[in-house]
Structures are given as C-alpha cells and as structure tokens.
Structure 1
Amino acid sequence: MTKKIGFIVGSLRKDSFNKIVAKKFAELLPEGFEAEFIEIGDLPLYNEDLDAEGNVPAAWTRFRNEMKKVDGVFFFTPEYNRSVPAALKNALDVGSRPYGESIWGGKPGLVVSVSPGAIAGFGANHHLRQSLVFLDVPTLQQPEAYIGGIANLIDENGNIDQGTVDFFKVIIEKYVTFFNNLAAFEA
C-alpha cells in the first residue's frame, strides 16, 4: 500500500527555493511513497471563535481533511527572523485544534530548512522541531537537513547541484527507514 507523505512548504512565494527543493524531494521518493502537496497559504489565522460548528472556515476543513489522509509529513521552511514563517506556524495551530482533535499526532516528520544564507535556516528548523515535539510528530533527527547557500546550488534552469541531490537522497533513505521502524514498532 502506498504511503502518502504530506508536503508542507512554509514559503508562499511562487518561485521560492523551498518549493523547488520540495519538488525535488517529491521526485526522489522511492516506490511505495507518494508526495501530497498540502496548501497552507489560504488558511485564515487561527481564531478559536471561528472553530465552532457553522463558523469553521472552509480552508481549515479542507486542510484538516487532507492532513488526516497522509501517513507522514515533510516540512520545508525558510527562516524569517530566526523562526518559521507565520503561515507555517498557523498551519500547525489550525491542524492541532479543536483541542483533542489534532491531525498531527504520530505522523513521522521531516524538517528541511532552505535558505540563501550560510546558517541554512538553523533557527527556523529548531523552532519548528520544538512545536513538533508538543504536537507528537516523531521527527527524523539525523541527518539534519539544513540547506544553506541555496541560490548557489540551483542553476538558471532550476536544476539542483548533483551533490546536493545526493544529500537529499540520503535524507529520504533515512526517513524511509525511520518511517518503517516506527510503523513496525506500532504494529
């Protein structure tokens, strides 16, 4: 049975480096795993007053339903002010509510931070990991996926440097092992 992996991209920019990297990760998934890109740019900011029957925004319902159908999740995040973009944090909040109905629990996660800067989104990567601990998303620890200097790793046609792609393959291989080990543990 094919395992669906939700791909959540924290950058909403049309030509974002995170989207380019996410698309490459999707191409590299092995047989038996399939990427499902989940839109977060249309989610209204979380407000508990709206989370009542008859008031729930359609985008929240769509997002929650799509996330319930995935078996794992890859997060791709830029770093904004040493943290994650507001859209990504909002998606975490929308998915964790209403209380007791979180869509996150138990889904094996991967955090990839992508940045033109040298520190490769370290702050965003770790802030996201802090939230994922509380949300009960077991997250791959090694190898850490900090992709810095991304502008120098992509050519004018959007192709990513082969050495970097090889690193992506290692990350995916480790994630698949992690995913399968968790599944075996829970069986």
Structure 2
Amino acid sequence: MGRTPDQNGRTTVPTIGVLALQGDVREHVQMLQAAGATATAVRRPPELEAVDGLVIPGGESTTMWKLAEIFEMLEPLRLRIKDGMPAYGSCAGMIMLADRIQDGVEGQQTIGGIDMVVRRNAFGRQADSFEADLDFAGSAVHAVFIRAPWVESVGRDVKVLATAAPGDRIVAVRQGPLLATSFHPELTGDTRVHEYFVNMVREL
C-alpha cells in the first residue's frame, strides 16, 4: 500500500486516509500527522486502494451514507473492510462501522464490520453536547461528545475500550483491525486515540 520507509528502509510510517465526503476531515488529518502517520483525503475508490488504513470522521451519518453511494464508495469501503483494512470511526464514523443501528432513517445503510448495535444521537441533540474525562484502553483522555451515539450491545469478539456516564454507556470499542468511538478526539489536541489507531495499522 502506501507505507513510507524510514531512514533504515523499514516501512514504519503508514499512509492513512480520511474519508473526505463530509465531516471533520482536516482535523483528523492533522491529528494523524501528529501521531506519526502520513495522512491523505480519500474520496474515490483508487484513493482508497492506496492507503493502509482509513479514518471515517464525525459528521452526519445519513449524509455520509448518501454521499458514499453518490461517489460509488459504499461497496469499495465494504470490500476493503472485509479484506482486513484497519479503520477507525468517530461519532458518525462509529455508526458507519456498525453492523446494526437503532433510530436510523428509513433505509439507512452502513459500511459495517463491527458486531455491535449503535443508537444514533443517543446522548441527545446539539444542545446536549458535553465533555468528559474517560479511561480509554488504559489511558486517561478528554472526550468531546456532539450529538453522539452510544453502543447498545456488542458481540463476543468486540472489546469495550471506554464507557461514559450516565449508565456506563459503551463509547469506544475495538474488533480486530476496526476501532470506533462515540466521541471526537480530533477536537481536543490529544493525540492518544490517533496514536492507538496508528499503532494498530503498523501492527497489521
């Protein structure tokens, strides 16, 4: 794929795309670069084929789904995920990586890949946005929730990485090469979630 050799010729710098149909594209690109990856926008299937991993940003999941169909990206995304490409979805991206969703619009489709049920806008509307400190995979992170989903349930192969109040709702999960969070780490300046994903890509 697009890995860049370091000074010793080893392929340690992965090229990670950010799905650039809608959402926080620039912010994710900056965070991935700060986390040690080469980052690039992805809008078309040939660009998708050139990356080692992909971030699906926050935004609006129904708009993202419709644009993925318009740009003929939905099936290529599903195929790359099925073939084992690492992917990280934040907020709307979490919804896009869910195998099943609740409170979606009629006919809403996802890319899928993570055996979980995600509820759209579970934490409330824009006015209900909030910030919280979380334990994410053993690291303390500051999380920003904006019209955020939560995970209703997970399959046995899904690892829960973080929960949040009220009710210890699941807000971060991993299944194999796929990572998803309800929150927006790209808005905090804290690169630890992106570093976690970059390391996932390096390992695969």
TM-score by length of 2: 0.47
Equivalences for residues 89-168 of structure 1 within 5 A = 91-95=72-76, 102-104=79-81, 105-113=83-91, 121=92, 125-130=94-99, 131-133=111-113, 138-141=177-180, 144-147=181-184, 164-166=188-190
Unaligned runs of 5+ in 1: 40-62, 114-120, 151-159
- After TM superposition, the structure 1 = structure 2 runs for residues 1-187 of structure 1, keeping only pairs within 5 Å, are 1=11, 2-11=13-22, 18-30=24-36, 33-39=37-43, 63-80=44-61, 84-88=64-68, 91-95=72-76, 102-104=79-81, 105-113=83-91, 121=92, 125-130=94-99, 131-133=111-113, 138-141=177-180, 144-147=181-184, 164-166=188-190, 169-181=191-203, 183=204
Q: What is the DSSP-based 3-state SS (H/G/I as helix, E as strand, rest coil) of the residue aligned with 1:6?
A: strand
SS at 2:15's partner residue?
Answer: strand
Higher relative contact order (CA 8 A, sep 6+): 1
Give the Cα–Cα distance (whole angstroms) in 1 for the partners of residues 53 and 97 of structure 2.
16
Q: CA deviation at 1:3?
A: 1.6
For 2:27, what is the secondary structure of its paired residue? helix
User: TM-score, length-normalised on structure 1?
Assistant: 0.51
Greater helix percent: which structure?
A: 1
| Deviation by residue 1:62-84 (Cα, 9 ceiling, x = unmatched) | x2222222111111131256x74
Task: Quote the Cα distance in structure 1 between the aligned partners of 2:40 and 2:200.
Answer: 19
Aligned residues: 120
Q: How far apart are residue 85 of structure 1 and its match?
A: 4.1
Q: Secondary structure at the match of 2:54?
A: strand
User: Which stretches of structure 1, 4 residues or longer, exceed 3 Å deviation after superposition?
Assistant: 88-92
Q: What is the alpha-carbon distance in structure 2 between the residues aligned to residue 8 and residue 179 of structure 1? A: 16
Aligned partners of 1:36 and 1:137: how far apart in 2?
23
Q: Which has the higher strand share?
A: 2
How far does residue 175 in structure 1 lie from its aligned partner after superposition?
0.9
Alignment gaps of 5+ in structure 2: 1-10, 100-110, 115-174
